[in-house]
């Protein structure tokens, strides 16, 4: 189903801190275009099973990211044989920008934590 | 898909219904397959535990997401709705005002109904309290001390039984002597009612012992009025009559029944009640009795138990209780006693307020529909952009919800402003009026009404919006079109509004007719220029007939000489007030009743000689009372016309005699006077017998003073004369007889006013509704009208055409309203005086008024239609 989108323009900063779950979804999509179930699996895999999103939470996030223009739904699907109810999502440049900004923000925080000896300097994120 | 999975999917699908429709339609199918995959994998990897964990996470996730999504959607819709409301301020103000008035009327009446009819009595175990009545022969009678003691001792259904009577004390030591209404009660009266004092204590058994120090409790109202709510009043002492009384406590604000008293005292405070001869006399029936049923006991069980006691009494004291069915006792719930007068009026008003709201809803729905015509483009564009039907339905409902909630807020302000008026209105029907307040129940009710209102006023336009979208797109949106269906809906709404208005106007019209009839009732005397005041003598000081007689004779003599006084009289009671009735049976000389036949009966009144003159009551035959009708001379009486007709028939009563004590003493009738409406303009005339005050002195009387000047202007002078006779004697209820008369019809007058107000509101809303719809129709049909005029139609014809169309709607509404009125006004029967619920004059009058209002409302748009310039109208097209 095609959906008209009103892309929200603006600086990445205007989105403010993302919730951890939202950030995870953006991270998952930073690698590849994925459908919903794949996003869940990716998040679960990357966090070693620590973050498990339910369908309700995931689609609440997807709706928000779509309306904020951080992700878009793909018009074409990779595999023609796929269940047509399945939809694929892609990070927009705006979304990438926001995810990067969030990662940098976290990085700054981590630096501070390291400078206060709360984290070992050798440890990588 | 395996069967187990499909069951899980079905459950999951059901769970998804918690999400907003839009969300569900956007993501539902996709969420479903994601869930199926999760489900499959969870089962494969972790078996039942994995599946259970998945379910838990899923349910929690949906429950977290759903409210947030609903709220987000509401915010979005509300923001949009507020922008739309700002864009059309005319519509917004009209809708909010209409709904505010409609909802306000309902909140206001509900606050009364809730406090008076719905809430439990503010006494602990109020639902178990009963009033006892005993009936001897044809008459309800009070209880004697011995009756009370026997019922208390023998009942098995009541766990408390207390007595009550009312008397007057005189409070001394203030700037002026003050009459204090006193409830005289059993020591455990307040315990049985479950009333805890605000300050101090209630009575104890020792307070009711003979010779105990005199104590009293203040009612909340008297405490506020006379002591400014001073909590240190407890333990203070006051001189009342001949004794010093100590205040032991202050009562909380509870409904006082049967009288609004200033203070309460234990039974020993009343010298009559505590006299040994009274206590011993089973027929000295002067107190009222209240009981509290044991837990779980029903009124019918209490009835059976008390009837058993009654039978015991009949058996034990055959002289004091008549045989068989001539003696009975009946308990009735106090709750019903307190509210039965209010119930019919309040329910009628609640229904009327409901109708006003219906009309308001209809009107706002119509305003919405009219606006929809102007919004067709916007809605069509939004539909084209993918806004689903449900989404738009929701958007429109949000708009009407906001309107209704703001209207509801305004309505609450209206009813809050009217609160004190409402309380004084309800106080004429029930002692529970003081409980009326704007509490959480009223707020909740108002909110509920607002939600219902938004559904009622928003559904029609929202449904119509669907049609609009289809229509507007088909037409390409160049020219807005009113779908035929939508026009029909608007017409239907108008018809419904007119019908309901008609119903309300009929209700108000009937009440008005009834009230006018009441106002025109001839009371049988002239209430103009009459001053009245009550005087209750100090029972300690005026303890003999001679002293009482001398007091009133001296006072009347003095008042008579006051300038501005035409004639001064005293009477046991003034007209239009319930007061005390003294009904007795007697035997007319030479008319011994046949065995088993009841003796004649009449209401006795004690009056001074000038009474008939002061009130202009005509003496029909014989004479009035004269100064020589005193002790030592023959005992005389005067009967009214009704008594003469009913009891003496063809014979002239003048010169005949009757006896009330089996022939020991005889009273001679010396005159017949005209009937008066003693108990109220709407009450029947009673058979009355007047006796002279000099021969039947009394402790308590009302002065009835005919004046040549405005009566209240001489009130002060009369009170000074009273204090000249006895400086410690107060007067109470100083008022003109016309005030008394106005007061006696205040309840129907106020009910009529309120119902009239609702009906006028309905009429105004409905009339503007018709006008608005016709104006819109004219606007829509400019082109057609232009064509008609271009081919020769005259303005007059166009005017008539539009008028005809509007009036057809109004007349169909009137016809429907007529059926409704014929069916519903039966409920008003109880409130009407000498008017039938189908009074043709009222129906005709209301139809004419409503028709005229509709005509005026249609005339403005019709005239505009007739002035359409065909050239301009055609050029627009």
Percent of chain B predicted with pLDDT > 90: 51
Percent of chain B predicted with pLDDT > 70: 95
- The 10s digit of each residue's pLDDT in A80-116 is 666 777 889 999 999 999 999 989 988 999 999 998 8
The predicted model gives B8-34 an average pLDDT of: 90
Q: What are the angstrom distances between the C-alpha of A26 and each of A13, A14, B194, B631?
A: 16, 16, 68, 112
Q: How far apart are CA B402 and CA B59, in angstroms?
A: 32
- What are the chain A neighbours of B26 within 8 Å (beta carbons)? 3, 63
B58, B15 contact by CB (below 8 A): yes
All residues at 6 or more sequence positions from B729 whose CB lies less than 8 Å from its CB, including other chains: B170, B177, B535, B537, B538, B551, B722, B723
**Nearest chain A Cα to B34, which residue?**
A37
Residue to substitute from B15, B20, B34, interface A, most A β-carbons within 10 A: B34
Return the minimum-mean-pLDDT range out of B86-95, B329-338, B557-566. B86-95
The total of structural domains in chain A comes to: 1
B593, B745 contact by CB (below 8 A): no
Q: Are strands B667-673 and B215-218 parallel, antiparallel or unpaired?
A: unpaired
CB contact under 8 A, A62 and B27: yes
Confidence of residue B441 (pLDDT cuts 50, 70, 90): very high
- What are the chain B neighbours of A62 within 8 Å (beta carbons)? 27
B767, B857 contact by CB (below 8 A): yes
In a domain, A12, yes or no: no
Q: How far is A52 from chain B (nearest CA, A)?
A: 9
In a domain, A22, yes or no: yes
In a domain, A11, yes or no: no
Q: How far apart are CA B281 and CA B271, in angstroms?
A: 15
Confidence of residue B271 (pLDDT cuts 50, 70, 90): confident
Confidence of residue B705 (pLDDT cuts 50, 70, 90): very high
Q: What are the angstrom distances between the C-alpha of B651 and each of B79, B367, B593?
A: 87, 73, 17
DSSP B369: H
In a domain, A124, yes or no: no
**Nearest chain A Cα to B68, which residue?**
A60
What tokens does A108 get? 């700054």
In a domain, A121, yes or no: no
Domain ranges of chain B: 3-75, 138-321, 343-520+746-876, 542-727
Q: How far is B89 from chain A (nearest CA, A)?
A: 29
In a domain, A123, yes or no: no
CB contact under 8 A, B69 and A53: no
Return the minimum-mean-pLDDT range out of A57-61, B366-370, B797-801. B366-370
Q: How far apart are CA B247 and CA B249, in angstroms?
A: 6
Interface check for A62 against chain B (CB to CB < 8 A): the answer is yes
Return the pLDDT at A3. 36
Q: Are strands B288-293 and A34-35 parallel, antiparallel or unpaired?
A: unpaired
The whole-angstrom distance between residue B454's C-alpha and the CA centroid of its chain comes to 28
Return the pLDDT at A6. 35
In a domain, A70, yes or no: yes
User: Closest Cα partner for B287 from B307, B301, B318, B266?
Assistant: B266
Q: Summarize chain A as % helix, strand, coil (round to 5).
A: 50, 5, 40
CB contact under 8 A, B30 and A59: yes
In a domain, A50, yes or no: yes
More confident position, B627 or B779: B627
Interface check for A27 against chain B (CB to CB < 8 A): the answer is no
Q: Which domain does A51 fall in, by range? A: 17-115
CATH number at residue A38: 1.10.10.10
User: What are the CB-based long-range contacts (under 8 Å, 24+) for B377-384?
Assistant: B377/B472, B377/B477, B377/B480, B379/B465, B379/B468, B379/B469, B379/B472, B380/B468, B380/B469, B380/B472, B380/B473, B380/B477, B383/B469, B383/B473, B384/B473
Return the pLDDT at A16. 59
- What are the chain A neighbours of B38 within 8 Å (beta carbons)? 37, 40, 55
Helix (H) or strand (E) holding A92: none
Residue B704 phi/psi, 5° resolution? -125, 105
**Which of A4, A52, A59 is nearest residue B31 as measured by Cβ atoms?**
A59
Q: Tokens 């951890």 appear where?
A: A20
Q: How far apart are CA B552 and CA B697, in angstroms?
A: 9
More confident position, B447 or A76: B447
């Amino acid at each position: 189903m095609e959906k008209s989108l009103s892309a929200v323009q603006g600086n990445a900063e205007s989105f403010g801190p993302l919730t951890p779950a939202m950030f995870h979804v953006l991270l998952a999509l930073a690698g590849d275009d994925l459908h919903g179930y794949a996003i869940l699996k990716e998040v679960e895999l990357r966090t070693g099973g620590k973050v498990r999103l339910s369908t309700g939470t995931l689609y609440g996030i997807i709706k928000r990211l779509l309306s904020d223009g951080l992700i878009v739904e793909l018009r074409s699907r990779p595999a023609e044989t796929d269940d047509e109810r399945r939809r694929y999502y892609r990070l927009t440049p705006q979304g990438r920008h926001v995810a990067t900004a969030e990662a940098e923000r976290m990085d700054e925080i981590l630096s501070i934590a390291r400078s206060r000896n709360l984290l070992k300097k050798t440890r990588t994120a | 898909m395996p069967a187990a999975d499909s069951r899980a999917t079905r459950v999951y699908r059901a769970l998804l219904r918690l999400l907003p429709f839009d969300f569900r339609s956007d993501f539902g199918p996709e969420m479903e397959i994601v869930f199926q995959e999760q489900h499959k994998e969870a089962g494969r990897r972790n078996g039942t535990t994995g599946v259970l964990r998945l379910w838990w996470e899923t349910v929690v996730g949906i429950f977290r997401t759903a409210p947030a999504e609903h709220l987000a959607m509401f915010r979005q819709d509300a923001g949009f709705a507020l922008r739309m409301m700002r864009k059309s301020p005319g519509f917004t103000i009209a809708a909010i005002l209409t709904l505010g008035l409609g909802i306000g009327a309902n909140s206001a009446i509900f606050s009364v109904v809730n406090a008076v009819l719905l809430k439990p009595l503010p006494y602990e175990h109020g639902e178990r309290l009963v009033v006892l009545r005993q009936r001897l022969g044809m008459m309800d009678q009070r209880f004697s001390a011995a009756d009370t003691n026997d019922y208390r001792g023998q009942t098995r259904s009541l766990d408390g039984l207390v007595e009550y009577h009312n008397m007057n004390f005189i409070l001394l030591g203030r700037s002026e002597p003050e009459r204090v209404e006193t409830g005289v009660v059993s020591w455990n009266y307040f315990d049985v009612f479950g009333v805890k004092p605000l300050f101090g204590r209630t009575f104890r058994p020792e307070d009711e012992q003979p010779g105990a120090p005199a104590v009293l409790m203040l009612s909340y109202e008297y405490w506020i009025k006379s002591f400014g709510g001073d909590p240190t009043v407890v333990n203070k002492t006051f001189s009342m009559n001949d004794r010093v009384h100590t205040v032991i406590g202050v009562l909380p604000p509870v409904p006082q029944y049967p009288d609004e008293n200033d203070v309460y005292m234990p039974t020993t405070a009343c010298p009559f009640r505590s006299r040994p001869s009274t206590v011993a006399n089973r027929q000295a029936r002067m107190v009222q009795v209240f009981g509290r049923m044991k837990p779980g006991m029903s009124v019918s069980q209490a009835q059976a138990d008390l009837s058993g006691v009654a039978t015991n009494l009949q058996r034990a004291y055959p002289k004091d209780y008549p045989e068989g069915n001539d003696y009975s006792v009946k308990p009735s719930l106090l709750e019903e006693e307190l509210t039965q007068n209010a119930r019919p009026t309040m329910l009628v008003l609640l229904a009327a307020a409901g109708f006003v709201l219906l009309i308001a809803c209809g009107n706002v729905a119509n305003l919405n529909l009219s606006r929809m015509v102007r919004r067709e483009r916007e809605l069509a564009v939004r539909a084209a952009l993918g806004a689903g039907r449900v989404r738009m339905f929701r958007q429109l409902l949000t708009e009407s919800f906001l309107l209704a909630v703001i209207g509801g807020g305004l309505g609450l302000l209206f009813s809050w402003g009217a609160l004190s008026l409402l309380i004084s209105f309800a106080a004429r029907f029930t002692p529970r009026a003081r409980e009326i307040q704007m509490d959480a129940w009223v707020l909740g009710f108002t909110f509920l009404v607002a939600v219902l209102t938004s559904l009622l006023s928003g559904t029609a336009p929202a449904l119509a919006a669907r049609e609009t979208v289809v229509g507007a797109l088909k037409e390409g949106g160049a020219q807005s079109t009113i779908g035929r269906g939508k026009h029909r809906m608007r017409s239907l709404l108008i018809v419904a509004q007119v019908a309901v208005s008609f119903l309300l106007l009929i209700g108000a019209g009937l009440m008005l007719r009834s009230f006018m009839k009441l106002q025109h009732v001839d009371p049988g005397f002239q209430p103009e220029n009459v001053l009245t005041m009550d005087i209750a003598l100090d029972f300690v000081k005026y303890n003999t007939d001679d002293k009482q007689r001398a007091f009133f004779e001296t006072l009347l003599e003095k008042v008579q000489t006051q300038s501005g006084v035409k004639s001064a009289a005293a009477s046991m009671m003034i007209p239009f007030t319930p007061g005390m009735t003294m009904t007795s049976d007697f035997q007319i000389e030479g008319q011994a009743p046949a065995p088993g036949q009841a003796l004649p009966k009449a209401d006795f009144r004690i009056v001074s000689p000038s009474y008939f003159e002061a009130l202009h009551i005509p003496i029909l035959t014989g004479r009035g009372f004269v100064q020589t009708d005193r002790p030592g001379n023959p005992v005389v009486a005067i009967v009214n016309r009704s008594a003469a007709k009913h009891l003496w028939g063809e014979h002239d009563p003048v010169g005949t005699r009757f006896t009330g004590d089996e022939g020991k003493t005889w009273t001679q009738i010396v005159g017949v006077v005209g009937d008066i409406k003693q108990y109220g303009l709407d009450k029947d005339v009673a058979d009355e017998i007047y006796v002279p005050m000099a021969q039947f002195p009394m402790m308590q009387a009302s002065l009835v003073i005919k004046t040549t000047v405005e009566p209240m202007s001489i009130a002060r002078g009369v009170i000074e004369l009273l204090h000249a006779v006895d400086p410690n004697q107060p007067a109470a209820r100083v008022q003109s007889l016309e005030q008394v008369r106005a007061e006696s019809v205040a309840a129907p007058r106020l009910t009529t006013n309120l119902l009239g107000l609702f009906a006028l509101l309905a009429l105004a809303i409905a009339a503007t509704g018709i006008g608005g719809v016709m104006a819109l129709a004219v606007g829509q049909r400019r082109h057609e009208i232009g064509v008609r005029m271009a081919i020769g139609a005259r303005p007059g014809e166009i005017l008539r055409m539009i008028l005809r169309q509007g009036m057809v709607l109004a007349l169909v509404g009137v016809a429907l309203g007529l059926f409704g009125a014929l069916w519903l006004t039966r409920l008003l029967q109880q409130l009407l005086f000498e008017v039938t619920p189908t009074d043709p004059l009222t129906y005709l009058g209301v139809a004419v008024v409503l028709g005229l209002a509709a005509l005026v409302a249609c005339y403005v748009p019709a005239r505009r239609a007739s002035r359409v310039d065909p050239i301009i109208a055609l050029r627009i097209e």
